[in-house]
Amino acid sequence: MVARISELEKTMDERGTKLSALTQKLDDNEKQSSSTIESLTAGIDGLRAGLDSMTSQKEELEKLMASKGDEASMQIKSLEDEISGLS
């Protein structure tokens, strides 16, 4: 009977050690996952900021192109009028 109790206590200690190791591994994995999530979130935030900047630049370039197109049209019209006046 004493031997059986000793055996059960030994088994219980082994399982306690395994449980402790698994709990530590779980904690480590949770910390690693949290760190990875934070890193990915920071990367996403950086990409969003870059996208916002590029969108703003695109809008500015589109306005500039429209303005230059209007300017070129006015110059063409002016030259056509000048040519018509010479005829």
pLDDT tens for 38-84 read 999 999 999 999 999 999 999 999 999 999 999 999 999 999 999 99
* Confidence band for 85, pLDDT divided at 50, 70 and 90: confident
CA 15, CA 32: separation in Å to the nearest integer?
A: 25
Q: Is the pTM of this model over 0.75?
A: no
Does residue 87 register a pLDDT over 80? no
| Mean predicted confidence (pLDDT) in 7-17 | 95
Residue 45 CA to residue 66 CA, distance in Å, equals: 32
Cα 66 from Cα 72, distance rounded (Å): 10
pLDDT-based confidence at 86, cuts 50/70/90? Answer: confident
